[in-house]
A = this chain, B = another copy of it.
Amino acid sequence: MKIRIDAERLWNSLMDLARIGATPKGGVRRITLSSADREGRDQFVRWAREAALAVRWDAVGNIFARRPGSEASAAAVMMGSHLDSQPSGGRFDGAYGVMAGLEVMRTLNDHGIVTRAPLEVASWTNEEGSRFVPVMMGSGVFAGIFPVEEALKATDREGIRAGEALAAIGYAGKPGAHKVAAYFEAHIEQGPVLEDTRTTIGVVQGALGQRWFDAAFTGQDSHAGPTPMELRKDALIAASRLVLEVNRIAKAYPDYARGTVGFMQVAPNSRNVVPGEVRMTVDLRNAEDATLRSMADDLERCAAAIAAECRVAAELREVVYFPPCKFAPRLVESVRRAARDLGFTHRDIVSGAAHDAVYLARVAPSAMIFVPCEAGISHNEIENARPGDLAAGCDVLLQAVLAQAGG
């Protein structure tokens, strides 16, 4: 009989934490390095110390709560996520991964289990990126993606630097990363797949690579009445064709292809004027880098062909590239086995969005555990998840961690 986490304690901790920065509509506003973020951190640190964990934080404010193992020199097996939220965020995005890690520690305490490797719960600074860019700042610094000095120079809209804000809330610690044997992050899916397929556990294979583009079509404004169809240079027709090509591309390619036009701006945007200019964005994602490259090539060919056929000028500029991330097969297998052994419905899934685990994967074997969220809605105050699903994900986390840390 495997030990199990305390589902009620996990839920209560999540609900207690959600009181900090609570919004009237049931969500959370715990913007990074704000006073609400400090309160959230203080609460986590209090709970961690009550669980006899050793707490410290690094130069970018990442908090680590450590439980010793029997082999003192062994690298830690780490769990974690983030406590900051979107300006109108939900109760589970990020908070779940940190509270699940804490619940694993408490459960091991309850059963007096000592693992071989030490265990840690990490709370990464500024995952959301809504106040300071870069996003995933804390895990990015930890993984050496960018230097801590650069991260702390980031300024918000009021001109406050991240370094000042961090010092003001009392979480500026000493620099330096440490070795991690394995990293697990439990998270709500933030998408509809698990709910749609009535699955409890998503065994996350990795995260989609992303290529983001800015596109523009330039034709000629003209009066909608006196200008015959064959003499127009209508930028919106070109843009509309590109929207449909992006959709075709996303459906035509394998490997979890996705394609989105989320932004479009029409000029002069007047009812009876043929549009002379349209600016738009394209977001392409894929689990395989080569397929993602092919999608981008296809997009470029389409934009050029559409421009020629519509007699308008096209501009297409890539502005962001994140390569796909593949999680460590050994850890992914631990997650899958735990879900199976515990009798939870489970399926392989890829993360469409980036998470701290994507940066951790650059310096340590990493994996993620997804649980369903209601209607796939996240980054929204109405974000919701079921206590039973959250407990299931935490039980899977416990077993996967024990498999890596040694019982």
Using a CB–CB distance below 8 Å, which chain A residues touch chain B?
189-193, 196, 208, 210, 212, 222-229, 231, 234, 236-237, 239-241, 243-244, 247, 250-251, 256-266, 269-275, 281, 283, 285, 351-354, 376-379
Contact = CB atoms under 8 A, between A and B. Distances in A.
A96 to B, nearest CB: 15
A216 to B, nearest CB: 14
A189 B223 CA distance: 11
Nearest to A256: B228
A112 to B, nearest CB: 39
A364 to B, nearest CB: 23
A321 to B, nearest CB: 14
Given A228-B193, A240-B240, A283-B224, A262 B270 contact: yes
A265 B271 CA distance: 12
Nearest to A261: B236
Which A-B residue pairs are the 6 nearest by beta carbons? A191-B226, A225-B352, A226-B352, A240-B240, A225-B353, A224-B260
Contacts of A212: 271-272
A280 B224 CA distance: 15
Contacts of A229: 247, 250-251, 257-259
B266 A272 contact: no
A225 to B, nearest CB: 3
A381 B212 CA distance: 38
A382 to B, nearest CB: 12
Contacts of A265: 269
